[in-house]
Amino acid sequence: MGTALYQPQSGLLTVQYQPDETTRLVENPPRFTWIPAQLEEDCYVLQISEDGQFQAERTLTFAPIPYNFYTPDRVLAPGTYYWRYALWDGGKQQSEWSVARRFVVPEGLPATALPARENRYAQAQEEHPRLWLQGAEEVARFRAKVKADPIGSGWQPFYEKSVLPWTAREPIPAPQPYPNNQRTAPLWRSMYIACQEALYAIRHLSMAGVILEDEALLGKAKAWLLHVAAWDADGATSRDYNDEAAFRIAGALAWGYDWLYGELSEEERDAVRGQLLRRTQQVAVHVIERSKIHQVPYDSHAVRSLSSVLVPCSIAMLHEEPQAREWLDYTMEYYWTLYTPWGGADGGWAEGPHYWTTGMAALLEAIELMKKYTGLSLYDRPFFRKTGDFPLYCYNPNTSTRTSFGDNSTLGEAISTKVGYNIRQYAGVTGNGWYQWYYEKVKDLDTDADSKFYNYGWWDFRFDDLLYLHDYPAVEAVEPKDAEPVKWFRDVGWVAMHHRMEDPDEQIMLLTKASEYGSVSHSHADQGAFHIHAYGEPLAVETGYYVAFNSSMHLRWRRQTVSKNSILIDGKGQFGDIDKALNMAASGRVEEVRREKTYSYVRMNATNAYMENVPYMKRYVREIYFVRNSYFVVVDSVDLSEPGRVNWLFHTLYEMNVKGQTFQVNGRKASMEGRFVFSSSGDLTLSQTDEFVGVDPREIEGLTRHWHLTATTPQAGSHRIAALLVPKRKAESGKYVSYFVDDQGFGYNLYCTDNGATQKIEIAKAF
């Protein structure tokens, strides 16, 4: 029927044709995605059938579907199904059917259907406010709650620290373009922080004025709102000039318009709504038409702008601007179908814990706004039930920001309080006491959180408390004494090994990764790399500083393999420059994770990560053993199509004692001995330096140096290297693990003995 349907192959950066026979479904109904059949004006009909012939009585038909992704509005009975799609226009099918794909729905999956567009907002009211509290009735109930318990409700600290300061501030001038339109990190940051202040002033004054029925506060809020609404939407705070500034101003206008609706004249409403519409449109056009995150989802800012802009702004304008419904529909369908592009059912986040924090901060606020306004909740989706585990295991409050992966503006400082606030939200949703323990630990450790730019310029903790205390019950903290000793986030290829997670003085942690996401977005060229934190001390770490995104420190050091506890081949590492296709191709894969009686084990294949820069790489596999919760053995197997040298890299905060085949890290609370106990190509040559190669010296002037070990093998076509890493408490500096190697023909057997307990580790030979 109709014309031929173009069905292009999917690529590394695109959505895939799913589900199919290989798809392991984790929720019901399945989420359907395909590559668009044409560049513009594509609209679809989707069929799901129990019968491969698509007999009408056994087939469900959904149309029109405006984009190349869809979540049905009903669950499917367990069983085998087939699906196909075609172009749709004018109420009828316009092309032939696509290839039919088969999938299986197992029993017992969580039910997470999304209501169809026509009845999605059945409970959504037209009355303002709509952002958080719903209309005059809920405002009145909360007003009574505040009067009865100003401290327990969270109102008093919010009012004193987040409202009153803005009563003494005049509205800030509109930010101006960069001199000669040349962006620098300090100017960019100061601009978006100024816009965050505008958001604080408008949102907090508006809410306080309405809740307290205070004319002075309402007048001040209105003055701020009308002032900011007069800024040039196409100027320095536009999406194309400074997207972070634009996100904040759009949010400020949404909250002000919604909460001050009754205080504005019709003319003022039109003026504010017009600016809000224009700014929301800028973001929507970028997200949907330019970035096309429903086709190529790996745009961190575009995905986050759904939460920070399209959700609050669309809710504020719903029933008043037709485009608002289109944008909110797109956003909700994206969340229910494609979210998150950075992880899956295990709850991981490929960009790392810092971008989990920023993305989740905006998303959690958006989830709550959608849930309150529409009655629909994302929390039943598997990702959201599990994602609190990701910071718990991979960004533990007793460890260091230097012992995790990816871009991180808090690098070297305490773990951000906002991580704790995010995970507390999941404690409220799930009742998980471990998550509450995390929140309380982080909050106690980060005592000056408000003063830091990456907090002040992004969120207000008293506002968070106000909303959380109103919406969720208290959860009792529980120490994670029964945490999994080895935790594999299959969705992102991260593996965490822990001993005594709950006790900072006894805890030992190793984190490693080999991810299908490669070095895309805020990920780095670090497949197979590892970090170690032991006895309260970061020992094998991420060195360098967060100078700024796209600084030389960022581009030439921190993104590159040279800064990782990894390997180079003849001085060349994994692909870490900026090319999204090559970034995704430079991937790794966790092949096996297991927990045995005496050790935890992970095997990772990072071959693809090196292929762009080392085309003669045939195979690179790294195995890590955590033996008896005491020491680590790292085994590297490298096979090349031409002879080459392996540069084995290790990074720490302290100058090391290097001698022969050993290196010693001496920290303040702990130490670690590293020893190359086997190398098939001969002894390695060890050296260390405190230089950040390729970094502009001005960026690190006055900053503490870090230390980098390079251990280089002789040249060979194949290499087998075993490194023994023994972390120690300060009081047991004399501790050692003895070893010997037994050659058994087709493999080497490494025997390590610690206090009378011996562990055999097999190292395969190269043939």
Q: Are residues 664 and 622 in the same domain?
A: yes
Q: What is the pLDDT of residues 512-565, one digit of tens each?
A: 999 999 999 999 999 999 999 999 999 999 999 998 888 999 999 999 999 999
Q: Are residues 476 and 568 in the same domain?
A: no
What does the pLDDT read at residue 753? 98
CB under 8 A, 24+ apart: contacts of 13-17? 13/296, 13/298, 13/580, 13/581, 13/584, 14/295, 14/296, 15/68, 15/69, 15/294, 15/295, 15/296, 15/297, 15/338, 17/101
Q: Are residues 324 and 370 in the same domain?
A: no
Q: Is the pLDDT of residue 1 over 70?
A: no
Phi-psi region of 314 (alpha: psi -120 to 50; beta: other; left: phi over 0): alpha
Task: Please name the residue that has the structure tokens 């003022």.
Answer: 268
Q: Is the pLDDT of residue 248 over 90?
A: yes
Q: Are residues 229 and 365 in the same domain?
A: no
Q: Is 211 domain-assigned?
A: yes
The percentage of the chain sitting over the pLDDT mark of 90, rounded to a whole number, equals 93
Residue 85 · residue 46 · CB < 8 Å: yes
> What is the CATH classification number for the domain harbouring 693?
2.70.98.70
What does the pLDDT read at residue 548? 87
Find the domain containing 694 and state its range.
514-730
How remote is the C-alpha of 251 from its chain's centroid? Answer: 22
- Ordered DSSP codes for 694-712: T--GGGGTTSPP-EEEEEE
Q: What is the pLDDT of residues 415-468, one digit of tens each?
A: 999 999 999 999 999 999 999 999 999 998 876 777 777 788 899 999 999 999
Q: What is the pLDDT of residues 255-312, one digit of tens each?
A: 999 999 999 999 999 999 999 999 999 999 999 999 999 999 999 999 999 999 999 9
- Give how many domains the chain has, as a whole number: 4
Q: Is the pLDDT of residue 767 over 80?
A: no
**Angle at the Cα of 701 from the Cα atoms of 698 and 705, rounded to 5 degrees:** 125
Alpha-carbon distance of 418 to 193, in angstroms, equals 17
Alpha-carbon distance of 97 to 383, in angstroms, equals 32
Q: Is 751 domain-assigned?
A: no
Q: What is the pLDDT of residues 311-346, one digit of tens each?
A: 999 999 999 999 999 999 999 999 999 999 999 999
Q: Are residues 328 and 348 in the same domain?
A: no
Q: Is 501 domain-assigned?
A: no
Alpha-carbon distance of 271 to 742, in angstroms, equals 81
H or E element in which residue 368 lies = helix 353-374
Q: Is 757 domain-assigned?
A: no
Q: Are residues 321 and 358 in the same domain?
A: no
Q: In the predicted model, what is the mean pLDDT of the chain?
A: 96
What does the pLDDT read at residue 746? 80
Q: Are residues 257 and 395 in the same domain?
A: no
Using the 3D structure, point to which of 68, 91, 118 is the last residue of a domain: 118
Q: What is the pLDDT of residues 180-236, one digit of tens each?
A: 999 888 898 899 999 999 999 999 999 999 999 999 999 999 999 999 999 999 999
Helix axes 417-430 and 353-374, enclosed angle (nearest 10): 40
Q: Is 756 domain-assigned?
A: no
553 C-beta neighbours (distance < 10 Å), count? 22
The pTM is what? 0.96
Q: Are residues 405 and 299 in the same domain?
A: no
Task: Please name the residue that has the structure tokens 């970034």.
Answer: 583
Burial 515-524 (b: 16+ CB within 10 A, else e): bbbbbbbbbb
Q: What is the pLDDT of residues 5-23, one digit of tens each?
A: 999 999 999 999 999 999 9
Q: Are residues 202 and 313 in the same domain?
A: yes
Q: Is 693 domain-assigned?
A: yes
- Residues 6 or more apart whose CB falls under 8 angstroms from that of 41 comprise 89
Q: Are residues 61 and 158 in the same domain?
A: no
Structure tokens belonging to residue 52: 């491969």
> What is the CATH classification number for the domain harbouring 52?
2.60.40.10
Q: Is the pLDDT of residue 239 over 70?
A: yes
Using the 3D structure, point to which of 118, 142, 173 is the last residue of a domain: 118
Residue 21: is it exposed, middle or buried by C-beta count within 10 angstroms (0-12/13-18/19+)? exposed
Alpha-carbon distance of 749 to 200, in angstroms, equals 63
> What is the CATH classification number for the domain harbouring 299?
1.50.10.100
Q: Are residues 355 and 330 in the same domain?
A: no
Q: Are residues 317 and 355 in the same domain?
A: no
Q: Would you place residue 80 in the very low, low, confident or very high pLDDT band (cuts 50, 70, 90)?
A: very high
Q: What is the pLDDT of residues 700-715, one digit of tens each?
A: 999 999 999 999 999 9
Torsion of CA 5, 11, 14, 16, to 10 degrees: 70
- Residues 6 or more apart whose CB falls under 8 angstroms from that of 676 comprise 648, 661, 662, 683, 684, 711, 721, 722, 723, 724
Average pLDDT over residues 48-70: 97
Q: Is 14 domain-assigned?
A: no
Residue 581 · residue 298 · CB < 8 Å: no
Distances (CA, A) of 153 to 2, 430, 500: 61, 21, 36
Using the 3D structure, point to which of 292, 321, 339 is the last residue of a domain: 339
Q: Is 500 domain-assigned?
A: no
What does the pLDDT read at residue 734? 86
